[in-house]
Amino acid sequence: MSDMQDNGHHHDHDHAHGHRHPFQPDLEDGDYSYYQVMTEAVIELLVGKKVITAEELRSTIEVIDSKSPVFGARLIARAWVDPAFKARMLEDVISAAGELGIDAGAIPIRAVENTTAVHNVIVCTLCSCYPRSLIGLPPDWYKARAYRSRVVREPRAVLKEFGTQIPVDVEVRVHDSTADLRYMVLPARPSGTGDLDEEALADLVTRDCMIGTALPKSA
Amino acid sequence: MRRHHDMGGLDAGPVVQNEHDFAPWEKRVDAVLRLLSGPERRLITVDELRRGIEDLGPGAYDEMSYYERWIASITNNLIEKGVLNIDELGLKMADVEARWDADRAAKNETQNEGVK
């Protein structure tokens, strides 16, 4: 699990304590939900019918857990130090990721570049499409009604709620993702970072920078 | 006229910036969808998943949590496709529930022993 997704907010029966046997529900937390029972039943039936195996399920969860914003941040740091790479990344994110040995999956991802004139932000108004292969699983608010409804209409107000103020002379562009095309924001390199190497630059790039709700920390 | 999932541009309250670590069962739902939609099986497409979620209707869509919507849609898709049938699902759910209740009862007993 990415530590960037852990800020201690928990939601009813959705507790995760990280020490549980993978085939046990949240027994120590008391009640389990109807849909947790359904999940277990469906899995047991699918395994029983040999549609999937328990081993495949385990290894797929490992793949999900392995995805984190670290991958996206590495791409961005490389783009900041290598203009030719950046050009290739803007052309084709998946193949650029491949150059760094990062598997960005099969669904096209388009990088949208922040400049002094344009700030980009991403959303999926219809559901929750998100560049998971490069940023990990989407945070709850990305999938929730308020963000999906409002960010396309009043992005500056929404960004302000995240503590991100975009100057009025900078255009804000909102990109609505679909199942067939996801976006990621390529933030601008912060000033005062001329001395930093690629690794240190990558540390400045958080998940929210790649969603567009935050700007990279200055060094 | 728009359907309830099509919410871009509507009014809504402030963005509540809540997040949680995904529970093991949520990751299992995610993994099941990946396996069923992957190139080896192609049993459910992402579009079928979404159609199933949108068909839950406005009330359920807003009341259920994200992965609850997913497992509901996955299950309905599997029933429609004849991979699962509703009777075996009902039996298996009763079975899982009985097992979990028994596990929990046994665990509580052990804990009570411990404090004596």
Res. B61: pLDDT tops 50:
yes
Tokens of A46: 């699918």
- A209 annotated active-site: no
Burial of A107 (0-12, 13-18, 19+ CB in 10 A): middle
pLDDT of A171 > 90? The answer is: yes
Beta strands in A21-127 (DSSP E): 109-113, 118-123
Residue A129: active-site member: yes
CA–CA gap between residue A41 and residue B93 (Å, rounded): 5
For residue A124, give every residue at least 6 positions away whose Cβ sits within 8 Å of its Cβ, in sequence order, or none: A130, A142, A148, A176, A177, A178
Q: Would residue A124 show up in a list of annotated catalytic residues for this protein?
A: yes
- Over pLDDT 90: what percentage of chain B? 66
A95 counts as catalytic: no
Whether residue A53 is predicted with pLDDT greater than 80 in this model: the reply is: yes
| pTM of the entire predicted model | 0.81
Q: Which residues on B lie below 8 Å from A27 (Cβ)? A: 100, 103-104, 107
Give the Cα separation of A35 and A86 in Å (integer).
Answer: 44
ipTM confidence score: 0.91
What pLDDT was estimated at residue A218? 77
Q: How far apart are the first and last CA of chain B?
A: 64
Q: Which residue of B has its CA nearest to A149?
A: B8
Residue A26's pLDDT band (boundaries 50, 70, 90)?
A: very low
The three-class DSSP label of residue A210 is helix
Taking every pair of C-alpha atoms in chain B, what is the biggest distance, in angstroms? 64
pLDDT tier at B115, thresholds 50, 70, 90: low
Mutation site for B-interface testing, chosen from A145, A152, A176 by largest number of B Cβ within 10 Å: A145
Q: DSSP letter string over A37-62?
A: HHHHHHHHHHHHTTSS-HHHHHHHHH
What's the whole-number mean pLDDT along residues B21-44? Answer: 94
Look at residue A17 and tell me whether its pLDDT is greater than 80.
Answer: no
A68, A124, A177, A209: the catalytic one is A124
Cβ–Cβ gap A148/B8 under 8 Å: yes
Q: How far is B114 from chain A (nearest CA, A)?
A: 15
**B16/A149 Cβ within 8 A:** no
Residue linked to tokens 């201690």: A8
> Is pLDDT larger for residue A214 or for residue B2?
A214
Of the residues A33, A95, A127, A149, only one is catalytic, namely A127
Closest residue of chain A to B106, computed from CA coordinates? A27
Amino acid A161: pLDDT: 97
Q: List, in sequence order, every residue forming a beta bridge with A119; answer none if it has no partner.
A: A172
Q: Do A57 and B31 touch (CB under 8 A)?
A: yes
Residue A28 has pLDDT above 80, yes or no: no
